[in-house]
Amino acid sequence: ARTLTIVKAVIDMARSLGINITAEGIETQAQQTWMQHLGCDSAQGYLFARPMNVDDFVRMFIDRRGVGRERSLMH
């Protein structure tokens, strides 16, 4: 409960300052759903892809085009 309170406070502060919010370290669908519910604009983490170099990213992006995973996580 304490962690959730801190996360909400940070998100609220960023929103009040007009800062876009990216949730980092998303590994599960449940985490993605919570971050979306809390108001994050986007997210990154192992749920989407492991760290990779630019060439691998471009290849992955092209391979996944039309699948929907390359779109913004939240909106």
Asked if 7 and 38 count as a contact pair (C-beta separation under 8 A), the reply is: yes
Which residue in the block uniquely carries the two structure tokens 């492991």? 50
Contacts of 29 by beta carbon, 8 Å cutoff, 6+ apart: 47
Which residue in the block uniquely carries the two structure tokens 């691998």? 56
Q: Given 10, 13, 19, 24, which residue is catalytic?
A: 24
70 is catalytic: no
Asked if 70 and 64 count as a contact pair (C-beta separation under 8 A), the reply is: yes
Residues classed as catalytic: 24
